[in-house]
Amino acid sequence: MASVTENWQALSTQAKTGLVVGVTLIAGLAVGIAVWAYRPDYQVLFADVAAPDASAMTAELDRLKVPYQLADGGNTILVPREMVYKTRLKVMGKDLPLHGAVGFEVFNNADFGMTEFVQKVNYQRAIQGELTRTILSIEGIASARVHLALPEQGLFKKTTAKPKASITIVTKPNHVLAAEQVSGIQRLVAASVPDIQAADVTVLDQHGVALTRNGGGEAAMESASGMLDAKRSADDYLTRKLSKVLDATFGPGETIATVDVLLNLDQSRVTTEEVLPARSGTQEGSPTGVVVRSRQTVRDNVAAGASAAASSARSGESLSSGSTEADYQVGRRVAQSVTTPGATRRLTVAVVVKNPLSDYQMDKLKEVVGLTVGLNSERGDAIIIHSMNTLGSAAGDRGALERASVEAAGARPVAATPAPARAAVPPAAIWAAAALVMLVLLVWAFLRRGQPRAAGTALTVEERERLLLQVRQWIDTKHEPGPNGGLWERP
């Protein structure tokens, strides 16, 4: 200790300060490493949890006495690493009202004295909660709410109101529900709730925009939006199909293709009725039908004379006469054909190729395009193929063609407003401008030459001798006063 004290006292003030600071830093670093090494490692228990679900989960963790931490603004729940899986199974095994909805677990702890009205309300809550959980399992949906409007049914009274449903959906960022997904949600609700139709299910997004139409099936096809969707779908399908073939042939970006489909959106019903007679009778192939009733009448001829009676007796013929009546019934065939809307009435195809093509290549390309889109000339389909240079030359010659057509018709052409163009500059003007520039430069050089030399500029030997000679001549020259007080030189 004495040596340590002597060494400490022998140190300077700066050395003592540095030693104390160094020891303090080392001790703090050691404590920090120890705390970091022995701190509990928290892992994610649940992520992207809504606020109502996070509240229910944290309450359950408090009841289980499990330490936890919240991150990402309360949307992520963290627990110690060794307790993640065990705690997750415990929490999911509880009947927690997740996603803000209660399912059929509402009947787990039902009271014995529950009234019928409360049971109906709980049953409706359970169906809405189960539908909400099923809809949330669809990819791209962040949250959903289901409302069922179930009319009350009585024992001796049956209401005419139909059950309906409304669903509000909040999608995840950068996700949009397709029309097939919306239709699937409608069918899901219709199959889960008795006496409800898919057309009576309304689906809204988070912006309050209806994702479903007023009608389904034929009603949707007859509506303007249904017609437009059908046409757009047909156009896009054939255009993508044709563009794929052209890109594989000429390369991407070398062609432009478009297909316009004219659909037959009329619905017709044709009923045909045809008579089918039965093939029977004495003659081959004679249509007599089927006998349903037959009547025969016989009459005796008592007014005949003796000669007629004697001749009849000799010949063995009977003196009676009669008639036979028969009713026939034939078959009937009824055929009914229904034409549904959506059939293709006409196709119009336009293709623009970047590079010019020969006539042979153009004909072959028309064959390929026609087979790709299913072109039918008997139906009135049309196809046009041009190259870009042909279109450019046609645009340049359009004015000349219009003037020629007007003159051929004998009419006075209408003066069109010419586009502003740059006037041609004659060569004489160019030479005049060049001469003017040279003249200006020469005048500037002459004026610059007559100006005095700037101060501080050294003179050459010849300039110095010439200047000295001028000064001597000026001194030797005699001057006399002039009439106005000035000097004038006398020779």
On the question of pLDDT at 443 being above 60, the answer is no
More confident residue, 466 or 426: 466
CA count, 13 A, side-chain hemisphere, 66: 26
Q: How confident is the model at residue 423, as a pLDDT? A: 44
Q: How confident is the model at residue 424, as a pLDDT? A: 47
* Confidence label for 403 from pLDDT (cuts 50, 70 and 90): low
Tokens 């009271």 sit at which residue?
111
Determine contact, residues 433/441, Cβ cutoff 8 Å: no
Query: Which segment of 189-203, 213-227, 400-414 scores lowest on mean pLDDT?
Result: 400-414
Q: How confident is the model at residue 159, as a pLDDT? A: 65
> Mean pLDDT highest for which of 97-111, 156-170, 229-243, 398-412?
229-243
Share of the chain above pLDDT 70, in %: 66
Please, what is the average pLDDT of the chain? 75
Q: How confident is the model at residue 350, as a pLDDT? A: 93
Q: How confident is the model at residue 452, as a pLDDT? A: 52
Give the H/E segment covering residue 233.
helix 224-250
Q: What are phi and psi of 115, to 5 degrees?
A: -75, 170
Question: How far is residue 219's CA from residue 197's CA, in Å, rounded to a whole number?
Answer: 14
Q: How confident is the model at residue 409, as a pLDDT? A: 47
> Mean pLDDT highest for which of 118-132, 261-275, 322-336, 354-368?
354-368
- pLDDT tens digits along 34-46: 777 667 778 888 8
Q: How confident is the model at residue 466, as a pLDDT? A: 83
More confident residue, 100 or 420: 100
Q: How confident is the model at residue 221, as a pLDDT? A: 46
End-to-end CA distance of the chain: 120
Question: How far is residue 290's CA from residue 418's CA, in Å, rounded to a whole number?
Answer: 88
Q: How confident is the model at residue 433, as a pLDDT? A: 64
* Confidence label for 75 from pLDDT (cuts 50, 70 and 90): confident
Determine contact, residues 122/106, Cβ cutoff 8 Å: yes
Q: How confident is the model at residue 367, as a pLDDT? A: 92
Mean pLDDT of the 54-58 span: 84
Token pair recorded at residue 13: 């003030």
- pLDDT tens digits along 140-171: 888 888 999 888 776 666 667 788 999 999 88
More confident residue, 83 or 440: 83
Q: How confident is the model at residue 216, as a pLDDT? A: 47
Residue 230 CA: distances (Å) to CA of 204, 291, 437: 22, 55, 72
More confident residue, 182 or 6: 182
Q: How confident is the model at residue 436, as a pLDDT? A: 62
More confident residue, 351 or 292: 351
- pLDDT tens digits along 170-206: 888 888 888 888 989 999 999 988 888 888 899 998 8
Q: Are strands 331-339 and 268-276 parallel, antiparallel or unpaired?
A: antiparallel
Question: How far is residue 403's CA from residue 414's CA, in Å, rounded to a whole number?
Answer: 9
Token pair recorded at residue 353: 């190729």
On the question of pLDDT at 478 being above 90, the answer is no
Q: How confident is the model at residue 142, as a pLDDT? A: 83
On the question of pLDDT at 231 being above 60, the answer is yes
Q: How confident is the model at residue 243, as a pLDDT? A: 93
Q: How confident is the model at residue 411, as a pLDDT? A: 41
Q: How confident is the model at residue 3, as a pLDDT? A: 75
- pLDDT tens digits along 245-258: 999 999 998 999 99
Question: How far is residue 465's CA from residue 453's CA, in Å, rounded to a whole number?
Answer: 16
* Confidence label for 16 from pLDDT (cuts 50, 70 and 90): confident
- pLDDT tens digits along 307-345: 555 555 555 555 566 788 877 777 778 888 887 777 888
Q: How confident is the model at residue 95, as a pLDDT? A: 66
